[in-house]
Amino acid sequence: MFSASVTNDTAFHPSTFILLGIPGMQDQHMWAAIPFCSMYILALVGNGTILSIIMTDRTLHEPMYLFLCLLSITDLILCSTTLPKMLTIFWLKSHIISYHGCLTQMFFVHTVFATESAILLAMAFDRYVAICRPLHYTSILNATVIGKIGLACVVRGLLFVFPFVILIKRLPFCGHHIIPHTYCEHMGIAKLACASIKPNTIYGLTVALAVTGMDVVLIAASYGLILRAVLCLPSKDAQFRAFSTCGAHICVILVFYVPAFFSFFTHRFGQQVPPHVHIVLANLYLLVPPVLNPLVYGINTKQIRLRILGFFMGRR
């Protein structure tokens, strides 16, 4: 159907790839785009609001809010790397993406995901220090340390994801150029190759388990220590508020990691998983967290909630 649109393919690298969208649901693309577009708008508005409030109010230039600022920036980039192209596929039937454009999208998707995972770990550490080591909070986490942590999160993502580009560029594709997905990701591209992709599989699993998996373990350990400290609080009301806040954080973290790991492992071991289920979940882990994070980490925070209410009351 699309092959006539693709020209100048070489035996080694195609000049373009074709993104099919959601396999088996092409007839529903027009309607499927509506909830995705709605969530994208919510993510833009929510994270944009959080960024605007924190950047313009100097009283919020504290560690927790600076980490929230970093999270909002990564959320905006994360959903914007895939959603605009996906919407053009669904509404404009613009399925073609250049070879280098596909690799660029793949690089940003995985880099920003790894960066956000590191930021979630940093935020868990921030909450641990605030609750379990309150007297040392300002000395441990000052603006300089937070800047270094943010830089380390980005550099870590770049270092671990850049080999994905090298591993893809070494592969011949023998004219294969149709990707049954809405965006370009490492294993989705590698599976089109007509050569062994064992190095891609091994390195991808190593990054997923050793890097992202370690983030999950450390986040779980941080919240475990936090919950242990909360149980020692004398006030039942304080315990309830702390449990509610931690519970909301843990739910958002699960929404971020569970679909991501499902997608990672489905590429390698999930031959029985229906393609449309895999693709929908692969989109959700890039879109749902950017929608929920401003609600859970931002509006759920008293200082930000008061400033949002003050903004709307001031407009009356």
- Mean pLDDT over 216-238 rounds to 85
The fold of 16-313 is Rhopdopsin 7-helix transmembrane proteins (1.20.1070)
- Mean pLDDT over 114-122 rounds to 95
pLDDT in tens, 279-293: 998 898 899 999 988
> Does residue 79 register a pLDDT over 90?
yes
User: Rounded CA gap, 160 and 203, in Å?
Assistant: 10
Q: Please, are residues 255 and 216 in contact by the beta-carbon 8 Å criterion?
A: no
> Does residue 268 register a pLDDT over 90?
no
pTM exceeds cut of 0.85:
yes
Nearest Cα residue to 263 out of 183, 193, 194 = 183
User: Rounded CA gap, 77 and 122, in Å?
Assistant: 19
- Mean pLDDT over 257-269 rounds to 84
Q: Please, are residues 121 and 249 in contact by the beta-carbon 8 Å criterion?
A: no
Lowest mean per-residue pLDDT among 42-56, 100-114, 137-151, 220-234 = 220-234
25's CB contacts (< 8 A; 6+ apart) are 32, 276
